[in-house]
Structure 1
Amino acid sequence: MSTALTLTALPGLPMVAAGDDLGGILADGLARTGLLPRPGDVLAVAQKVVSKAEGRSVPLAAVAPSPRALALAAETGKDPRLVELILSESLRVVRSRPNLIIVEHRLGFVMANAGIDQSNVGQDGHALLLPVDPDASAARLAERLGMAVVITDSFGRAWRRGTVGVAIGAAGLPALLDLRGQPDLFGRELRVSITGFADEIAAAAGLVMGQGAEGQPAVLVRGLIWEAPAAPASALLRVGAEDLFR
């Protein structure tokens, strides 16, 4: 929850490359802007800069497509090498059709193309994979920066058009806020209300980050209040027994 919320992009961040000290880059950006950490601060960080720093860029020329990847590429019209990477990062293919592959990622996310992207990668002929463990990546950044961190990515939604920012990693805050048992405005007890707190932060930060050439991969969200214990972004995943659609 919040009473007065501000979102501030860290300006002037350099392009991130494999092996860069991302925590140091973000700390310098905060200091340069005069944004010293306060209680309730959250730094939303785009997945792409985390993946770049962690060396998750793969040259497609080095990928040998399997027979399965070749068959799926023929069905969808995608590059067989990209399809091979998608399959290697996935537990299963949920749906496919021309120009679309929806998978269950090895981390449990249901998403297009296993989150693999070629936009804003900075290297022609390369594809960028998700971090190996986004919650662990967030935890390392949170410890370094002394504030909560949410790693964001853009997801499509099954029943709505357009992508929106979601949290794939979180540390230092509760990814979920369980409001059950609390009263509503008229004193009625809430019985099913569980808020995707980290997802809401990611979506808000996405308004500032943008999706194209904005070059603003880190946004300080200030003014939030929470009392629940910290929980990672993996807590946002719906377990199979609760899934009515797959």
Structure 2
Amino acid sequence: MNTAPSFPSAPAKPEQASIPAGDSSPARRLVITPVRGIGEVRAGDDLVELIGRACGRELRSGDILAVTSKIVSKAEGRTVPADRREEAVEQETVRVVASRETGNGTTRIVENRLGIVAASAGVDASNTAEGTVLLLPLDPDASARALCRGLKRDFGVDVGVIITDTLGRPWRQGQTDAAIGAAGISVLLDLRGQPDGSGRPMSATVSAVADEIAAAADLVKGKAAGLPVALVRGLDTLVTVGGMDKDPGARALLRPAAEDMFRQGSTEAYEDGRRSGTKTGYNAGYDDGHAAGYEDGYAAGYAAAASEARRRARISAD
């Protein structure tokens, strides 16, 4: 029998992340609790039942559940044999952003079919059965919506759900969890136009609160603790009651290509520049050569015509 966890409203235990927030935050007090008792997830398992049973009657409207993508992938049967890993990476890849040869082979940073830029398209061999690898969920936003609906149906609560995965970061060492799917929650907090601490209006601040929640929740879930779900309490204002079918989900966190200033790695950017320069140089050279040839031909024709005119003048004079 699984034992339901305790979700205290008193000061957090050491295993919890309790973060006092300032006035500009959506919460004055944030409590994050690991959800125990879910167990190993297998293909076809009902995550609503597993998570709901583990949370018991402690789940409240306004709560947010941070759910590791691996258990979603397992429940959805997104497992493939490890010897098909390269094939899976190719199938999941839409665009190669950068690649580098290392002592362990080729490291590729790619954009996958979900629009997420990640190493190996998010195909992962950790926390899965020996000889297998896991692909990301087919549609993490849809998976989050299904969890929201199911928990509303079974427990009568309006909660937010974030599907999380570990991502690396350009220019920074280490990895952190981020939101790859979401439902029932505002994933971005737009503070533009609001005054800062000095009273000046902010012009560019849009907080990626779903990513911040995912990263904070990982502090109590961990990578090897067997705790794939965390319950986040204190961010009720971010939960969009009844709006789970209308909100854009975690896709709203993806930067549009037109705004991406670092869309390519250095090697790929160099190759594109070289190809573009070669083509531009060829066209310019062709145009210059054509113009020069025209000028040379005109001059030669004019000289020939003048010479012929002088020859005829001499014949006429004779």
Query: Is the TM-score greater than 0.5?
Result: yes
**Aligned-partner SS, 1:25:** helix
1:189 aligns with 2:211: no
1:115 aligns with 2:127: no
**Other-structure match for 1:38:** 61
- Does the CA contact (< 8 Å) of 1:177 and 1:228 recur in 2? no
**Change in 2 beyond 3 A, CA 1:51/1:228:** closer
- Aligned letter for 1:195? S
1:210 aligns with 2:222: yes
**In the TM superposition, what is the alpha-carbon distance from 1:12 to its structure 2 partner?**
1.7
Which runs of structure 1 show a deviation greater than 2 angstroms over 4 or more consecutive aligned residues?
A: 225-231
**Other-structure match for 1:178:** 190
Structure with higher Rg: it is 2
**In the TM superposition, what is the alpha-carbon distance from 1:36 to its structure 2 partner?**
2.2
**Other-structure match for 1:68:** none
Work out which structure has the larger RCO, using CA pairs closer than 8 Å and 6 or more positions apart in sequence.
Answer: 1
**Other-structure match for 1:20:** 45
Residue correspondences, number: 222
**Change in 2 beyond 3 A, CA 1:228/1:178:** farther
**In the TM superposition, what is the alpha-carbon distance from 1:225 to its structure 2 partner?**
3.9
- Does the CA contact (< 8 Å) of 2:184 and 2:239 recur in 1? no
For 1:191 and 1:45, the matched residues in 2 are separated by 33
- Aligned letter for 1:16? V
For 2:36 and 2:238, the matched residues in 1 are separated by 30
**Other-structure match for 2:160:** 148
For 2:137 and 2:125, the matched residues in 1 are separated by 15
**In the TM superposition, what is the alpha-carbon distance from 1:152 to its structure 2 partner?**
0.3
**Other-structure match for 1:232:** 249
Instruction: Give RMSD over aligned pairs.
Output: 1.4
Deviations 1:155-180 (A, max 9, x none): 00011010001000000011111111
For 1:236 and 1:140, the matched residues in 2 are separated by 20
**Other-structure match for 2:71:** 49
Structure-to-structure mapping, 1:43-192, within 5 angstroms? 43-61=65-83, 81-97=84-100, 98=102, 99=105, 100-121=107-128, 123-146=129-152, 147-192=159-204
- Aligned letter for 2:204? V
For 1:8 and 1:231, the matched residues in 2 are separated by 26
**In the TM superposition, what is the alpha-carbon distance from 1:14 to its structure 2 partner?**
1.4
**In the TM superposition, what is the alpha-carbon distance from 1:186 to its structure 2 partner?**
2.1
Unpaired stretches in structure 2, ≥5 consecutive residues: 1-25, 153-158, 241-246, 264-318
For 1:169 and 1:228, the matched residues in 2 are separated by 15
**Other-structure match for 2:277:** none
- Aligned letter for 1:155? L
**In the TM superposition, what is the alpha-carbon distance from 1:55 to its structure 2 partner?**
0.4
**In the TM superposition, what is the alpha-carbon distance from 1:228 to its structure 2 partner?**
8.4
Higher strand share: 1
**Aligned-partner SS, 2:58:** coil
**In the TM superposition, what is the alpha-carbon distance from 1:4 to its structure 2 partner?**
0.8
- Aligned letter for 1:25? L
For 2:238 and 2:226, the matched residues in 1 are separated by 33
For 1:10 and 1:228, the matched residues in 2 are separated by 19
